[in-house]
Amino acid sequence: MTTELELDVRNPSGLHARPAALFVKAACGFASDIRVSNLTTGSREVPAKSIIGILGLGVEPGHRIRVRIEGVDEHRAAAALRDLVTSGLGEPPADEAERSTGEPAPATGGAAPSADGAAPAAGEA
């Protein structure tokens, strides 16, 4: 039997860097064959236990992914991966971050604001 999930990626970083590593680490904890595709871009399916494969999907915030799981622990794997993605992959989901601050979630890679909330001046960071 095969279990398939379609999930919306809502965290600010998508499946890049740390969130991708968390996803792969979780997938590696199961014996089942787990594969992922980016439905938004129409990507090919890649092994969920491969960081290079996951990063290559180019999953951005708001993209929809399909997770296909087949094996002895597929139901536990499906529940764990669903919970991980819906909880924001270790980051607050983008819409949650926006609700709590009233502002859009910050883009990744930018400098953090100072303690008083002001953005750093050019050359600072």
105 within 8 A of 60, measured Cβ to Cβ: no
Asked about 16 being catalytic, the answer comes back as yes
Torsion of CA 10, 92, 112, 14, to 10 degrees: -30
Q: Cα 100 vs. chain centroid, distance in angstroms?
A: 20
Q: Which of 10, 16, 35, 63 is catalytic?
A: 16
Do the beta carbons of residue 2 and residue 32 sit within 8 Å? Answer: no
Tokens 């991980």 appear where?
84
Please, are residues 32 and 4 in contact by the beta-carbon 8 Å criterion? no
Residues 27 and 49 sit within 8 Å (Cβ to Cβ): yes
What residues are labeled active site?
A: 16
